[in-house]
Chains A and B, each alone.
Chain A
Amino acid sequence: MNFLYVTKKLLSAFLTLIAVVIFNFFLFRVVDRDPLAKYRGRSKLSIAQREIMIERLGLNGSKWQQFITYIKSTARLDFGRSFDSTRPVLREISDRLPATLLLVGISTILTILIGVYIGARAGWQRGSRFDRVSTSATMVLYATPEFFFGMLLLAFIAGRTGWFPTGGLRDVGADTSGFASILDRAHHLVLPSLTLTLGYLGSYSLIMRTSMLETLGEDYLTTARAKGLRDRDVMMRHAVPNALLPSVSFIAISFGFVIGGAITTETVFSYPGLGLATADAIRNTDLPMLQALFLVASSAVIIFNLLADLTYGLLDPRIGRAK
């Protein structure tokens, strides 16, 4: 992987980010002609207060001036105040970000590991019992909305057995420091991350299975077999690494879906992260929050795609090699 490749990928990620920021302005200031009309307390505002709101939302002046104001404040990470809580949006987001990062991080790692394993094995043993069962199962997983998984887990595991809490981040009144608190938080994470993992396992393993099938006919597998390698080694050393390559970019694109899944999963489990904040912002028509949350979600996908591109460069020596 050479310098040029990395620079190119960094630059394209940066440009996409800029495009998202501009698109965001377009959505909230051009498509939405009167953002203030969605502020629920607007009828009680005096004329002076209304002026202040317009000033605060950056709605004064021509669209061009508004755009400049918007760019300046976005660059300072100033997203205004939430309509609902009236706290600064940045505070709301930074308070809730760690919980979501933890949930999405754990689920993504689990989904990739399990999905790649199932997909690779199913593709390698095409037509076998494992392939038939796992492919049918992944189709059903794919067809199930992740929040329905969450509801089922709540009803049949949390509700019936009481083994896991039904929601929240930690027990009320629990010790907030030390080992016990880590256990408590892990306990609260089990069902939400299981929900998110089950929700996206299907698409990840289907992707891996397809790219495994693509590699099956390749000559280097015949060569490896001719060398006398055991079937397992041919699969692990030759087929899987090559099949992983195309999967990397597909998995990166699917990450956008996981972000969407976090919104409903957090809603089902009242897990106070950015997803629940999004659901609340929808119900309260909290435009400043939505605007920032959309930026955060898009940036997360852009960063994840960048990481995938860089991983791709590391995995595939042909990419980015100086010619």
Chain B
Amino acid sequence: MSIEAVQVSPRQMTWLRRRRALLRVWRELRHDRSGFTGLLLLVFFGVVAAAAPLIADRSELLAAAGRNNPDLAAPSAKFLLGTDDIGRSVLSQLVWGSRVSLFIGLLATVVAVVIGSTVGLISGYVKGRVGSLLLAIDDFFLVVPFLPLAIVLAVILGRSPVTLALVIGFTSWAGSARLVRAQVLSLSERGYVERARALGANSRHVILRHVLPGVAPLIIANATLIVPGAILTESTLSFLGFGDRLSPSWGKLLDGAQSSGSITLNAWWYYLPPGICIITVVLAFTLFGRALERIFDPRLAGR
């Protein structure tokens, strides 16, 4: 037994340790009622988004698909959530919309997390001119109102889903850069970072091998909390006219519901479902993200 244990390489040991840490997170999550509910909801929407082609045929989104259907028809056996103003099934659009909304939300988050962590890591670790320049840029992006900025960028750069995701990501990294920077500042004072530096490690090595693993939990928890913001921003931008009506996100559905007068016509099946989906997914991400925060940062427990 003991001989075997000695033969485990450092790399394997690291992975064993990580696996154990992951199991601990999972156990704590199981006991965190709101966080686990959030996770279950996310799994549900993830499955719906992945299985969209099995639930509704993509051709139902085409403008021509609704030609022979009644416009703004109330829910029926054929259309469980009624039809929109050009006769397309609302349910089919909702199911396919989950793909668009989640895709844009997640891609935007990846962009925001990459920019935010890079700026946070460098501005926290590197002192001097580079550090203060990055800090000033971060300050600037904290002040500039992000929705007007996102609008301007989206008008200039184009309205495709990928562009929207890039624009949203580019406008929502400032807060996480600030968080990461604060964590890096406190980690840099720890013994093991100083030891690595004393042993002659360069900045790149210290940042990637010692500081990044230390801030990784924070980055993950923070990312989970950026997603809901990104989904809300996407819905807002789509509501204001960006996005594609033939491949609508939930926000775009609300835009269609608003501009087709479904509210005055009492066509609740058109405007309620997408709104409820947005609220549920945003809530789910928030609950899940806050639970992760509590698990990674025990000081927050009990709040």
Contact = CB atoms under 8 A, between A and B. Distances in A.
Interface stretch (B7-15, B66-74, B144-152): B144-152
A37 to B, nearest CB: 11
A310 B217 CA distance: 36
Interface stretch (A64-72, A87-95, A147-155, A180-188): A147-155
B303 A143 contact: no
A260 B236 contact: yes
Interface in A266-303: 267-268, 278-279, 282-283, 285, 287, 290-291, 293-294, 297-298, 300-302
Given A140-B279, A145-B278, A298-B144, A268 B286 contact: no
B226 to A, nearest CB: 14
Contacts of A260: 145-148, 236
B146 A148 contact: no
A31 B240 CA distance: 22
A301 B140 CA distance: 11
Contacts, number: 135
B71 to A, nearest CB: 19
A234 interface: no
Main secondary structure of the interface of B (DSSP, over half): helix
Contacts of A256: 143-147
Nearest to A299: B145
A204 B258 CA distance: 28
B232 interface: yes
Interface residues of A, number: 51
B144 A145 contact: no
Contact of B156 (A19, A32, A126, A213): A32
B140 A19 contact: yes
B173 interface: no
Interface of B: 139-140, 142-149, 151-153, 155-157, 228, 232, 235-236, 239-242, 251, 254, 257-258, 263-264, 266, 268, 271, 275, 278-280, 282-283, 286-287, 303
Nearest 3 CB-CB pairings of A with B:
A260-B147, A256-B145, A143-B282
30 contacts: A16-B143, A20-B144, A23-B140, A27-B156, A31-B153, A31-B157, A126-B303, A139-B287, A140-B283, A143-B279, A143-B280, A143-B282, A145-B232, A145-B235, A145-B236, A145-B239, A145-B275, A159-B263, A166-B264, A253-B143, A259-B145, A260-B146, A260-B147, A279-B241, A290-B151, A293-B148, A294-B148, A294-B149, A298-B144, A298-B148
